Amino acid sequence: MHHPSSHPDICIAGAGIIGLSLALELHHRGHRVTVLDQGDPLAEASAAAAGMLAAQDPDNPPQLRPLADLSLSLYPAFLDRLYNFSGTRVPFQTHTTLQSLHTNHTSPNELTAQDLSHLLPALTPTGHRFILLNEHSLDPRQLAIALLAAVHATTIDLRTHTAILSTRSTNSSIEITTSNGIVHSSRFVDCTGAWATTTSRLSHLQIAPRKGQMVAVALPPSLPLHFVVRTPDIYIVPRTIGPTAGRAIIGATIEDTGFDKSIHPDDIHHLRALAAALLPPLANTPQLEAWSGLRPATPDGLPLLGALPEDPNHLIATGHYRNGILLAPATAHVMAQLLSNEAPSLDLTSFSPDRLVPQTVEVP
């Protein structure tokens, strides 16, 4: 049911993990929230992810760490809230990650060959040195089910198959023209991920889709894997609890192919070969599924969080790249603080949308 003349306090574009987590946080704070999505909720990058809460991944930009740590601290309460609304408990699938060290890094915690053979006898660590990280993973598909059920249990107005055609700011509100009528809202938040430049019509935002192809395989009985294995080239993420227990997710390519989500057997074969080089028992195990998602990438690898320079009522929360699942609770938290006119819990300067605006040079 659509309400073309409705006046929510806050209108969110994008019903992915970021948009719906923010909607729940705002609802918790007493705001009237409408969420619009051009397709189905949680159907894009959110459900395509592997689900690693990889705050300590050495490939993350260092400026991301405070936001990632805040998100980890908020995760238990976030999952509790989903459970309270949905009745569905989202479990952590793993609690440890076997992380390869970058070639130029040293660590006092580096595992010896004996440690590795004891921990994972099947591992052939040719050319890799490893450390163990305390790091959780979860199944984003389980998370999506609980999050959507939680949203449906509230008064949040979720409208699917409703595309944003244009936005226009007046002094006190934003007029959002959609494929299903007009919404007037006090504030507008773009959480459309890789589609944000289209939704906000701002070319300077420089958000681009980065395709990731992934594959799920059955874990053989000889390889009871209970932790994540991650190198710069590959990750292997087992599912240990729930309907998909006994499979492992292998990923992922990083491709600059626009909004194309097609799956290429050669790429899937390459991912499987990389995984089998690390864990030979995976060489001939049955393939269960292959899919792809589009990560929202910014030039510096950091998200965009805050108001657009030209309009304080038009905010954006996107560009989470490979860490959308990890960063959802913290993003919801700090964006809700901004929307409630509170000082955010941490310095958001590194994530300011202003940083990607081309600076005009005055000619003397």
In this predicted structure, what is the pLDDT of residue 355? 86
Based on the number of CB atoms within 10 Å of its own CB, is 69 exposed (0-12), middle (13-18) or buried (19 or more)?
A: middle
| 357 contacts: CB under 8 Å, gap ≥ 6 | 204, 309
Give the single-character DSSP code of 227.
S
Q: Which tokens is 328 given? A: 């959802």
Query: Concatenated DSSP letters for 162-211?
Result: --EEEEEE-SS-EEEEETTEEEEESEEEE--GGGHHHHHT-GGG--EEEE
Tell me the pLDDT of the chain (364 aa) as tens digits. Answer: 344 346 899 999 999 999 999 999 999 999 999 999 999 999 999 999 999 999 999 999 999 999 999 999 999 999 999 999 999 999 999 999 999 998 888 889 999 999 999 999 999 988 899 999 999 999 999 999 999 999 999 999 999 999 999 999 988 899 999 999 999 999 999 999 999 988 776 667 789 999 999 999 999 999 999 999 999 999 999 999 999 999 999 999 999 999 999 999 999 999 999 999 999 999 999 999 999 999 999 999 999 999 998 889 999 999 999 999 999 999 999 999 999 999 999 999 999 998 866 655 455 5
Q: Give me the domains of the chain, ranges plus CATH numbers.
A: 1-90+139-207+298-357 (3.50.50.60), 93-136+208-297 (3.30.9.10)
157-159 and 33-36 beta bridge pairing: parallel
Say what the pLDDT of residue 104 is: 81
Residue 339 tokens, joined: 């929307």
Residue 112 DSSP symbol: P
Q: Report the distance separating Cα 132 and Cα 128, nearest Å.
A: 13
Token pair listed for 253: 């390519």
Which residues on neighbouring strands pair with residue 138, listed in sequence order?
92
Strand order of the β-sheet with 164-169 is 164-169, 174-178, 181-185
Distance (Å, whole) CA 72 – CA 360: 38
Q: What's the pLDDT score for residue 362?
A: 53
User: Edge-to-edge, what's the strand order for the sheet holding 228-230?
Assistant: 130-138, 92-100, 228-230, 235-239, 247-251, 208-218, 287-297
3-state SS assignment for residue 323:
coil
DSSP for 281-318, please give it.
Answer: GGTTPPEEEEEEEEEEE-TTS--EEEEETTEEEEEEEE
Identify the pLDDT of residue 5.
41
pTM: 0.95
